[in-house]
């Protein structure tokens, strides 16, 4: 698990690319600059780690594009110590970004293979989520609710109700909604039954699936 000057240089270029695409939050950019993304990928893709692209990981899933990770994270407006729920742990890259921002992170993954792999890997890099869970993101994590923020990193055909109800008042849910193409959507909880909704354009994610395996 090596992180060389070459990797650091490539990473700085990636930060500039992401910045050029409109990300302004310095803390988010710093997190992208700090995290050795190449270590989150299978060896066959190491050369691609610092391109602003999604790439395959295990179990037919993908590590999200850095711009997308930055975009979703920026929308969450995380403050240190915020309690954040992530749906779709995958490679753990997004989880690491949340940890870098000082969040207390709970993350759910439905693929057992990825859950096991990432549970071992993240602590090796020093990223300690509060809890990684093998389970179904559609139901959220009632026992730890309410959350300051919830981020869904797979395309949701609809907005799961439990995720809205597990937000604090003032809390933010960032979720790509749609089937083949998704609209990045932000819900801000304004009251027990009141949510403000904002749309942020089209993205493409692997689908949020029902039934775990």
State the residues that interact with ligand SAH by CB under 6 A.
61-64, 87-88, 90-91, 93-94, 108-111, 114, 136-138, 153-154, 206, 208-209
Active site residues: 64
- Measured from the CB of residue 193, what is the shortest distance to ligand SAH in angstroms? 25
- Measured from the CB of residue 28, what is the shortest distance to ligand SAH in angstroms? 14
Please tell me whether residue 32 adopts helix, strand or coil conformation. Answer: helix
Nearer to ligand SAH (CB atom), residue 87 or residue 177: 87
Residues 106 and 83 sit within 8 Å (Cβ to Cβ): yes
> Nearest CA to 205 among 172, 179, 173?
179
- Measured from the CB of residue 39, what is the shortest distance to ligand SAH in angstroms? 12
Between CA 118 and CA 125 the distance in angstroms is: 11
Nearer to ligand SAH (CB atom), residue 132 or residue 167: 132
Residue 169 CB coordination number (10 Å) = 11
Quick check: bond before 146 cis, omega within 30?
A: yes
- Torsions phi, psi for 129 (to 5 deg): -70, 155
- Measured from the CB of residue 210, what is the shortest distance to ligand SAH in angstroms? 6
Between CA 45 and CA 16 the distance in angstroms is: 21
């Amino acid at each position: 698990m090596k992180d060389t000057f070459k990797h650091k240089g490539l990473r700085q270029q990636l930060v500039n690319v992401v910045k050029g695409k409109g990300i302004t939050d310095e803390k988010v950019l710093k997190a992208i600059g700090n995290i050795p993304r190449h270590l989150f990928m299978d060896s066959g893709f190491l050369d691609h780690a610092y391109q602003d692209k999604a790439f395959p990981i295990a179990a037919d899933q993908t590590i999200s594009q850095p711009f997308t990770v930055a975009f979703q994270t920026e929308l969450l407006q995380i403050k240190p110590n915020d309690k954040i729920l992530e749906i779709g742990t995958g490679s753990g890259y997004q989880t690491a970004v949340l940890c870098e921002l000082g969040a207390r992170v709970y993350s759910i993954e439905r693929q057992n293979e990825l859950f096991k792999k990432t549970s071992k890997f993240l602590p090796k890099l020093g990223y300690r989520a509060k809890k990684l869970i093998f389970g179904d993101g559609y139901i959220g994590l009632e026992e730890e609710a309410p959350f300051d923020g919830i981020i869904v990193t797979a395309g949701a055909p609809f907005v799961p109700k439990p995720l809205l109800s597990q937000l604090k008042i003032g809390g933010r849910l960032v979720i790509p909604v749609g089937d083949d193409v998704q609209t990045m959507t932000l819900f801000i909880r304004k009251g027990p039954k009141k949510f403000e909704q904002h749309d942020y354009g089209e993205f493409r994610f692997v689908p949020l699936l029902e039934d775990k395996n």
